[in-house]
Amino acid sequence: MSISLEEIQKISLLARLHVSAEEAGQYAVDLPGILAWVQQMNKVDTQGIEPMAHPMDASQRLREDTVTETDQRSRFQSVAPSTEKGLYLVPKVIE
Amino acid sequence: MEELSVRQLAQGLAHRQFSSVELTRHFLARMQAHRHLNAFITEMGEQAVRQARLADQRIRSGDHGPLTGIPLAHKDIFCMQDGKTTCGSKMLDNFIAPYDATVVQKLEQAGCVVLGKTNMDEFAMGSSSENSFYGPVRNPWNSDCVPGGSSGGSAVAVAARMAPLATGTDTGGSIRQPAAFCGITGLKPTYGRVSRYGMVAYASSLDQAGPFGKSALDCAYLLQAMSGFDDRDSTCMDEPVPVYPRKLDRSLRGKVVGIPDEYFSEGLDPEVRVFMERAIAWAEKEGCIIENIRLPNTDLAIPAYYVIAMAECSSNLSRYDGVRFGYRCREPKNLHDLYHRSRSEAFGAEVKRRIMIGTYALSTGYYDAYYRKAQQIRRLISEDFNKAFQDVDYILGPTTPEPAFRIGEKVDDPVTMYLSDIYTISVNLAGIPAVSIPCGIHKGLPVGMQLIGNHFEEDKLLNFAHQYQQATDWHTRCPPGFE
């Protein structure tokens, strides 16, 4: 199997990773290699087998809808790269 | 002091033969003397001495448990408000967690003293501890060799006697494989036995925290303190926690030990096989019944595991966006540039490779062929174990196909690196517990054997491991130059 450079660029966009031309070339070699190896999964017929998401097939535990956490905004924002008046700052989105 | 067991250390503290401050300073000095191994990302000397003073007070006042005043090292994947939590990544190089992981909290309550945070593969992605932003960790048995990974720093901390105990995490073998490569004992508990709250996520349906120690008994004490239900981790199981250290003296007579054909097939180093055969002979002498079993889907476990792990990692690591915490690129041109460059500049090559493959596997049109298929195979693997455990108490085999490999040997070939996890990975897919214990030394490098048990049978595993360690001395071997 092969993966085109366009596909590599599309995946990198979905993954929010900047990929240089040189890296894209490397991925075009690495990824098909790994994916071809992964495809040995196809040698077993899994039709009708329920996919297993949790090792003990446990489902999500629910709790009462009550407030358990207090507001700790300033604490959490103390590790943010850039904040102002309690808001996270990012480059301008709308001109 | 460094050769004493946890129980002996606790007795020494209780009888005032030494204080926790003295003990802590002793291990801090050893950490400094062996910095070339690169086992620690952060040394926490000052805080450790402070914690040790508190522990000494508790011991004097009689308010202490089996771990009060005992130093340990945390893998740098556990969030701690004290000091930084890097997960081996440039992305979190400046990150100070706003809260403590449950494991950290529980061990603090037990009175443990934290010596530092240990080096690891970035975001726990690796089998050699070479993928760290802070440089590779070295194996104390041979500094040209890897210590295994991803919890390599924790394994080295215990093996080189820089800490009596250490925490680790295991997603596909990241406790057991480094334990085997470093000649110590490491246990991966049942999924849900130990809380994942505050443990930086890699592949959430596989990740589990566990203990490293010189012996099964030492691990039993640490596991005891780490385990238990936690409301803050929705996958943590509400199951009673046995008093592990009291469960280790039972006889193994009549226990059935399954030997899987698939773990002794091609690829296994003949010398490793010899040590396995000796361990099996020992079990038989102890009165165990040895049975050959089949785990027919073993070869599918690695591809299925990597698809699941990479898909879950691509999702989990989407939180690193350069906005809320972690690394941000300089002068982003726009929001798109901020996301893309922050992530590309701060993630290492292996992390990016896994995010790319995971993203591909989850993208439109490929989900069924990869993620769903892998989850179906996961069920087949789990059913193999269920079937085996109808007839056997234990499954025994090697932890790894060969002893530690050389630094740089497999780093350019991802698939070969992934294959070194062949015996450990199925256990994570099935969510069952397993322990690796030393059972030989070949050409100066330790050999580990893996004992696998059914869900929540950590006590049985530790029982077997302890009995083996009562009869053998492999676990007491210290790497030359570190006595």
pLDDT on residue B202: 97
pLDDT on residue B412: 81
Q: What is the pLDDT of residues B90-101, one digit of tens each?
A: 999 999 999 999
pLDDT on residue B91: 98
Residue in B closest to A79 by C-alpha: B325
pLDDT on residue A62: 85
Confirm whether B318 is a catalytic residue: no
Q: Select from B206, B380, B429 the Cβ nearest to the Cβ of A49.
A: B380
| Spatial contact of B78 and B175, defined as CB atoms under 8 Å apart | no
Q: What is the pLDDT of residues A15-63, one digit of tens each?
A: 999 999 999 999 999 899 989 989 999 999 999 999 998 888 787 788 8
Least confident of A18-32, B278-292, B445-459: A18-32
Q: Is the pLDDT of residue B267 over 90?
A: no
pLDDT on residue B182: 98
Q: What is the pLDDT of residues B394-448, one digit of tens each?
A: 999 999 999 999 999 988 887 888 888 899 999 999 999 999 999 999 999 999 9
CA distance between the termini of chain A: 44
CB contact under 8 Å between B95 and A79, yes or no, is yes
Domain ranges of chain B: 6-254+393-476, 298-375
Average the pLDDT over B284-290 and give the result.
Answer: 98
Q: Is the pLDDT of residue B24 over 80?
A: yes
pLDDT on residue A93: 82
Q: What is the DSSP string of B447-460?
A: EEEEEE--TT-HHH
The CA distances from residue B122 to B93, B95, B103, B409, in Å, are: 11, 14, 20, 18
B257 Cβ contact partners less than 8 Å away, ≥ 6 residues apart: B280, B283, B288, B289, B290, B291, B392, B393, B394, B395, B396
pLDDT on residue B387: 97
Query: Closest approach of chain A CAs to the CA of B376, in angstroms?
Result: 4
pLDDT on residue A63: 83
CB contact under 8 Å between A14 and B373, yes or no, is no
CB contact under 8 Å between B378 and A52, yes or no, is yes
Distance CA B132, CA B119 (A): 7
Q: Is the pLDDT of residue A95 over 80?
A: no
pLDDT on residue A91: 94
DSSP B291: E
pLDDT on residue B203: 97
CA angle B207, B86, B434 (to 5 degrees): 25
Q: Is B373 on the interface with A (CB under 8 A)?
A: yes
Q: Is the pLDDT of residue A1 over 80?
A: no
Q: Select from B325, B339, B380 the Cβ nearest to the Cβ of A79.
A: B325
pLDDT on residue A69: 84
CB contact under 8 Å between B325 and A16, yes or no, is no
Into which CATH architecture does domain B6-254+393-476 fall?
A: Alpha-Beta Complex (3.90)
Predicted confidence band of residue B248 (pLDDT cuts 50, 70, 90): very high
CATH code for the domain defined by A5-43: 1.10.20
Residue B240: CB atoms within 10 A of its CB come to 8
Predicted confidence band of residue B330 (pLDDT cuts 50, 70, 90): very high
Query: Is pLDDT larger for residue B194 or for residue B421?
Result: B194
As a dihedral over the C-alpha atoms of residue B229, residue B232, residue B235, residue B239, rounded to 10 degrees, the angle is: 10
Predicted confidence band of residue B84 (pLDDT cuts 50, 70, 90): very high
The residue among B90, B328, B373 with the most chain A CBs within 10 A of its CB, best to mutate, is B373
Confirm whether B410 is a catalytic residue: no
ipTM of the shown complex:
0.95
Contacts of A33 in chain B (CB under 8 A): 414-415
Distance CA B323, CA B339 (A): 8
Q: What is the pLDDT of residues B107-144, one digit of tens each?
A: 999 999 999 999 999 999 999 999 999 999 999 999 99
Query: Is pLDDT larger for residue A92 or for residue B167?
Result: B167
pLDDT on residue B419: 81
Confirm whether B150 is a catalytic residue: yes
Least confident of A69-78, B174-183, B351-360, B456-465: A69-78
Predicted confidence band of residue B207 (pLDDT cuts 50, 70, 90): very high
Average pLDDT of every residue of chain B: 96
Contacts of B432 in chain A (CB under 8 A): 55
Average the pLDDT over B186-206 and give the result.
Answer: 97
Contacts 24+ apart (CB under 8 A), B199-202: B199/B77, B199/B78, B199/B79, B199/B101, B199/B103, B199/B169, B200/B77, B200/B78, B200/B79, B200/B85, B200/B87, B200/B92, B200/B123, B200/B124, B201/B316, B202/B123, B202/B124, B202/B125, B202/B169, B202/B171, B202/B309, B202/B312, B202/B313, B202/B316
Distance CA B359, CA B380 (A): 24
CB contact under 8 Å between A38 and B303, yes or no, is yes
Residue in B closest to A23 by C-alpha: B349
Q: Select from B325, B338, B352 the Cβ nearest to the Cβ of A90.
A: B338
Average the pLDDT over B290-300 and give the result.
Answer: 96
Which residue is catalytic, options B20, B128, B129, B150? B150
Please name the residue ranges forming H helices in B258-297. Answer: 270-285
Predicted confidence band of residue B283 (pLDDT cuts 50, 70, 90): very high
Which of B9, B21, B31, B176 shows the shortest CA–CA distance to B482?
B31
Residue in B closest to A68 by C-alpha: B232
Average the pLDDT over B214-220 and give the result.
Answer: 98
Q: Is the pLDDT of residue B57 over 90?
A: yes
Domain ranges of chain A: 5-43
Which of B111, B106, B118, B38 shows the shortest CA–CA distance to B77?
B118
Distance CA B151, CA B77 (A): 9
